[in-house]
Structure 1
């Protein structure tokens, strides 16, 4: 982690995995996905999900899932470096080049960025035959649960106070892939509903990340170097922002990166407070 300050005037925050650290809703989501699968597939789904949560499956946070070929990919800047079958068998270089001779587009339609635990059970469910409308329904059911009183969120200590303090010195922006209604409900629970100058929902990161940052650059009349991107999903929030020249804080929840992965790399958002504030 760098000890220097960010020296930025616009701070763009992700929501899920960034502004709260709860993870128990992922098991709820996995159950909603599993119950929509044929009964004969549910046991295999559960086994794979447990392995993936324990980081013992070929499908891991940080990879990309190619639904068309049912392959698990490792890439950098959309160039596929390695590919694996579901059972862990690595594709030969010849096969790799024949399938991925051109850069891929991580569009969450064919190529899915498994950037956090939201996408782990979904990719597993799709592997076992669940349709995208069924998977989306499970997601909506989970977000509804998260909006309700049964889902108790643990606030990140000091975050509300930090954002309330710096909202008058910096423009605070929320940029999330999640829909507006449940995101607003979560912000309400976190006490963060009124700290953002701008909120962008259903942001379609990472494909639309550069466009969003370009629009913010124009709207606030700043250079990219004056924009700070804070998030836990390296492909969605960190890599594209760095390529533009923005400052970055990577909340490395899964131990994927190193000190070079962002300007500030932490395992807990509180460790980045001074960097964000400065």
Structure 2
């Protein structure tokens, strides 16, 4: 990949990019639905969630969920109506565009967003969801999930010295994000950390300002993330490079510059960038 030697800025995401955890969603759903306050059945939701992540459900990561109609669509950026809406059983449903857009659709980009979809579907309020989110974060830091620091990845980030900047942008607010990143022990690896980044729109604004400030071309910027809509679409729209990392299959047909499954593969990509940059400098 000859384009690696042109990279000057690497944009990182937090959740699913600097760590991978395949179990947190079970506790998250338990906090939302295991207290008897909703009519939803926790066991059934856990089974359905697992099938969504495993790719055996009628819908999947990469689809869009419409809360106002409780339907799914499979679409790509730039699609024009009419969209084909299906219910949770895969049956096509007639939906008026205005009705579908009464509440903004949710891109099923990762396990976190799938939990949010179940919360919307079963009427869980935002306050309750935020409380559950904070509790899950707290428990992850206490070591009650499979969340762990990936030493090889952080070593690769530290050795990536021939790019201009390594930036971490997360939608997590500063009050929880700082504590989480401190637990990972990786804050010193980045030139700058942006909390409450308001991706996807915030990422587009940030990249535009960054190019103007640093005198960069779009293809000198690489964005790495597991949630394509938040982390990759805004960058690709502006002409930047993209690396999608996820342990899950996706219905999204987009062709990213790099597609990765594990943190080992991400570490290898960063080492490839460093090697390409170092070779270029020596030449």
| Same structural fold, with TM-score higher than 0.5 when normalized by the shorter chain | yes
- Return the match for 1:187 from 158, 181, 192: 181
Q: Which moved more, 1:201-210 or 1:268-277?
A: 268-277
Partner Cα separation in structure 2 for residue 169 and residue 234 of structure 1: 23
Query: Equivalent residue of 1:230, what SS?
Result: strand
CA deviations 1:209-235 (Å, max 9, x no partner) are: 211211222333312121110111222
Which residue of 2 is the match for residue 8 of structure 1? 7
For residues 37 and 247 of structure 1, do their structure 2 counterparts lie closer, same or farther at Cα, with a shift above 3 Å needed? farther
Which residue of 1 is the match for residue 85 of structure 2? 83
- Return the match for 2:97 from 55, 79, 99: 99
Which residue of 2 is the match for residue 227 of structure 1? 221
Q: How does 1:102-251 map to 2 (within 5 A)?
A: 110-151=104-145, 153-167=147-161, 169-251=163-245
Under a length normalisation based on structure 2, what TM-score does the superposition of the two structures give? 0.83
For residues 265 and 159 of structure 1, do their structure 2 counterparts lie closer, same or farther at Cα, with a shift above 3 Å needed? same
Structure 1: state its 5+ residue gaps: none
CA deviations 1:198-218 (Å, max 9, x no partner) are: 111122222332112112223
Structure 2: state its 5+ residue gaps: 277-283
Partner Cα separation in structure 1 for residue 227 and residue 273 of structure 2: 17
Contact 2:22–2:146 (Cα < 8 Å) also in 1: no
Which residue of 1 is the match for residue 23 of structure 2? 24
Under a length normalisation based on structure 1, what TM-score does the superposition of the two structures give? 0.84
Query: Equivalent residue of 2:129, what SS?
Result: helix
For residues 125 and 169 of structure 1, do their structure 2 counterparts lie closer, same or farther at Cα, with a shift above 3 Å needed? closer
In the alignment, structure 1 residue 270 sits paired with structure 2 residue 267: yes
Which residue of 2 is the match for residue 71 of structure 1? 71
Shift of 1:37: 5.6
Shift of 1:13: 0.4
Partner Cα separation in structure 2 for residue 195 and residue 151 of structure 1: 24
User: Which is richer in helix?
Assistant: 2
For residues 246 and 41 of structure 1, do their structure 2 counterparts lie closer, same or farther at Cα, with a shift above 3 Å needed? same
For residues 47 and 230 of structure 1, do their structure 2 counterparts lie closer, same or farther at Cα, with a shift above 3 Å needed? closer
Shift of 1:263: 1.4
Shift of 1:114: 1.3
